[in-house]
């Protein structure tokens, strides 16, 4: 009997061990393993992308129509790609942005940060999205003296201030270590934009800023001037948390597609194209007339904008481009008034007196609204207004010719960044001789549209919290 009990016990334990091994194998088979929740998976699961954005004109600010800025638009596009909400934490200096980036709940920090060797040792950078150079920016009035610097040696004796913990402060310290005599103050109180403002008011002689920041702020602070570049080409990149390879890979893939689709070119064109048309004297006069002339007509522009659904700042900018806000303006071709209407156009629009500011503004706005109706439905977003303005300047027929020519040479005829490449070709015989409407001074509508949007951006900067302390 003992023998049978002994055999039964052996059999029981053998079966138990087998079952335990089999169940363990099933539980930990490759298909059954519990996967680690990655940052990218968490973002998609929680439907929220948490980002730190530097509150500045080059990155992110609240404009007259809501959030805007080059880096804001980029991250908004990435959030749309992920199908998640963009949750923004605003930083007011680069040092503050870097501090905020240490919060483990922050996924991406976007603060116009250059990927320097020192930073690469301390941070995990994502893809690069812009190329810049550090530039020494000084007060324009110094050009009339022998104090305006032309190289690093000329910085001796000048009052220079840069932000602490910026790449600029690293550059200045490196130059001082190399033996250059530079009297620089490092501040945590002011952003780069605020330092540019201090240069403009000549509270300090010079500061250092990336080329894109200088370009964007030149229209806001026309008394600043670029002295010389103080660095080679550098890349702006996003900061990511450590151990986020899936998020980094997805960002690289998305940005590559974004570039291939031509969207990056469009975005850069939207924010930086006006720089080609910057004119110091005209910009100074515009600022003066904002104070002396615009107050008389601002309410009229606002009322027309509300009535026709077009931003008043754009209407005011069109009027300035046309007449410099002179209600009695008259050209040699006979167009007259604030919106410079022809006699025939005024008659069609019901304008009885072109010299009456209110009638001129209403008539001009109605004319733009009509132009918008003729813009092809394939043209979307801000480009619709730009197409309409170009047609307002040169005529709808020439715009259609330009679209036809764009298709012939392999460009997209429904985006402004491509159309403005084609428009100047309308003045060349080899192109215009085969077009329906023939010759046109195609450079003019390009300058016209870019100038208007430059004026609009200045107006919106003055009427919104574009640069905060």
For residue 36, how many other CB atoms are within 10 A of its CB? Answer: 6
Distance CA 408, CA 297 (A): 44
Q: Which letter does DSSP use for residue 241 in this model?
A: -
Both structure tokens of 451: 């100038």
CA atoms within 13 A on the CB side of 58: 25
DSSP for 217-277?
Answer: HTTT-TTEEEEEE-S--EEEEEEE-SS-HHHHHHHHHHHHHHHHTTHHHHHHHHHHGGGGG
Measured CA distances, 193 to 130, 164, 295, 336 (Å): 18, 14, 27, 39
Paired with 265 in beta bridges are none
Contact by Cβ (8 Å): 236, 127: no
For CA atoms 363, 365, 371, 372, the dihedral sign is: negative
Q: What does DSSP assign to residue 148?
A: S
- What are the catalytic residues? 322
How many other C-beta atoms can be found within 10 angstroms of the C-beta atom of residue 186?
A: 15
Helical axes 382-394 vs 312-323, angle rounded to 10°: 20
């Amino acid at each position: 009997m003992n023998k049978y009990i002994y055999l039964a016990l052996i059999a029981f334990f053998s079966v138990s061990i087998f079952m335990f091994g089999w169940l363990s194998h099933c539980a930990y088979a490759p298909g059954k393993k519990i996967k680690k929740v990655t940052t990218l998976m968490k973002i998609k699961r929680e439907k929220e992308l948490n980002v730190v954005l530097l509150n500045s004109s080059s990155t992110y600010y609240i404009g007259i129509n809501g959030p805007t800025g080059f880096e804001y638009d980029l991250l908004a596009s990435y959030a749309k790609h992920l199908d998640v909400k963009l949750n923004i934490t605003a930083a007011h200096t680069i040092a503050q942005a870097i501090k905020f980036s240490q919060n483990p709940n922050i996924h991406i920090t976007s603060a116009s940060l250059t990927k320097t060797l020192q930073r690469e040792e301390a941070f995990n950078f994502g893809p690069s999205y812009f190329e810049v150079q550090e530039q020494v920016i000084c007060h324009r009035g110094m050009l009339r003296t022998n104090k305006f610097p032309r190289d690093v040696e000329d910085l001796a004796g000048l009052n220079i201030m840069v932000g602490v913990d910026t790449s600029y402060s690293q550059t200045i310290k490196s130059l001082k270590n190399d033996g250059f005599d530079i009297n620089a103050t490092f501040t945590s109180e002011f952003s780069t934009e605020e330092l540019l403002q201090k240069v403009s008011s000549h509270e300090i002689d010079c500061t250092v800023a990336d080329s894109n920041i200088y370009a964007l702020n030149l229209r806001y602070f026309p008394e600043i001037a670029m002295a010389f570049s103080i660095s080679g080409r550098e890349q702006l990149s996003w900061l990511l948390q450590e151990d986020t390879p899936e998020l980094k890979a997805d960002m690289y893939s998305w940005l590559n597609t974004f570039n291939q689709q031509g969207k990056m070119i469009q975005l850069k064109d939207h924010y930086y194209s006006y720089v080609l048309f910057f004119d110091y004297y005209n910009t100074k006069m515009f600022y003066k007339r904002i104070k002396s002339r615009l107050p008389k007509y601002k309410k009229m522009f606002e009322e027309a904008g509300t009535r026709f659904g077009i931003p008043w700042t754009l209407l005011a900018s069109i009027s300035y481009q046309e007449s410099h806000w002179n209600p009695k303006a008259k050209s040699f071709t006979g167009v007259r008034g604030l919106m410079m209407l022809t006699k025939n156009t005024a008659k069609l629009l019901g304008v009885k007196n072109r010299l009456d500011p209110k009638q001129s503004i209403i008539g001009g706005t109605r004319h733009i609204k009509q132009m918008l109706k003729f813009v092809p439905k394939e043209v979307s977003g801000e480009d619709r207004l730009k197409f309409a303005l170009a047609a307002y300047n040169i005529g709808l027929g020439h715009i259609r010719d330009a679209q036809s020519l764009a298709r012939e040479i392999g460009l997209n005829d429904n985006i402004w960044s491509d159309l403005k490449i084609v428009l100047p070709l309308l003045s060349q015989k080899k192109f215009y001789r085969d077009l329906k409407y023939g010759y046109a001074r195609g450079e003019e509508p390009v300058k016209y549209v870019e100038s208007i949007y430059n004026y609009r951006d200045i107006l919106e900067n003055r009427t919104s919290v574009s640069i905060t302390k």
